[in-house]
Structure 1
């Protein structure tokens, strides 16, 4: 079955961008439209961006590199991907990524969708006038992770 999302899913037909951990994010397919089965987000990050290694207890995660070069770290494997390639981060397995190109744009699917609430709750709205990412408090963001069964498993990866 093919499902087309209604044009009024987002104001003006577009997902609203927000800052998260120094990069820009958007919820492209909200879990509210899939009965909580799936959420798809977009992340736009710059060179060197890397979230801490972490574990989702409840979600599988699939990364699709839309533009750029990104290294994905899943358990003890490193996957160096570029535009058009895909990686999978299974629930319960430590993972992270590192942007290697000047910028990278990722589509990320989470199944089920609950974790999208953590991203949106900890994001700061982005505006076209923003010249720099919004400041963030990593301690506060990580403190709220327990409620979403997300836990840090190590520092961000580096080259």
Structure 2
């Protein structure tokens, strides 16, 4: 039996929100795929780098849309430009660093889904296109990660 899932166009669910100083959007929520996968977009400024962390449940695939980004996966370093892809297996510490002065946009596929709810829960809606990111409480973001089987394993990377 073939199952069909809805196609998502512009909706309130896809509206950008601030997360750790960058903007994020949920492009395809897990609810549309029986939680098999979800797709997000991150638009981060130059120098942006989340702390090293581990997803215990999800595989991640990063696709660079704009800008230059270095991905750190385990003990490997991958310098990517638009059109290139990196893979982060579950259980392996990883992070990234935006190298390009104009920032970067990254599409991220998570499988299985549900981690997008962590990002949404810790995000702040973007009121206007020209808004600056609000201050964020990194300790609160880290504390909420445990419920999503996400744990921080080190500081943000640097070159």
Task: List alignment gaps of at least 5 residues for structure 1.
Answer: none
Label 1:34 to 1:51 Cα distance change in 2 as closer, same or farther (>3 A): same
Deviation at 1:156, TM superposition (A): 0.5
Alignment of 1:6-155 (within 5 A): 6-7=8-9, 10-11=11-12, 15-102=14-101, 103-155=103-155
CA contact (8 A) 2:8 2:28 kept: no
CA contact (8 A) 2:39 2:110 kept: yes
Q: Deviations over 1:36-75 (max 9, x none)?
A: 0111000000111000000000000000000000000000
2:148 pairs with 1:157: no
Label 1:144 to 1:74 Cα distance change in 2 as closer, same or farther (>3 A): same
Q: Deviations over 1:71-115 (max 9, x none)?
A: 000000000000000000000000000000021000000001111
TM-score by length of 1: 0.93
RMSD: 1.6
TM-score by length of 2: 0.93
Deviation at 1:131, TM superposition (A): 2.9
Label 1:32 to 1:94 Cα distance change in 2 as closer, same or farther (>3 A): same
141-150 vs 125-134, greater mean Cα deviation: 125-134
SS of alignment partner, residue 120 of structure 1:
helix
CA distance in 1, matches of 2:8, 2:156: 37
Structure 1 consecutive aligned stretches of length 4 or more whose deviation exceeds 6 Å? none
Of Structure 1 and Structure 2, which has the larger fraction of its residues in strand?
1
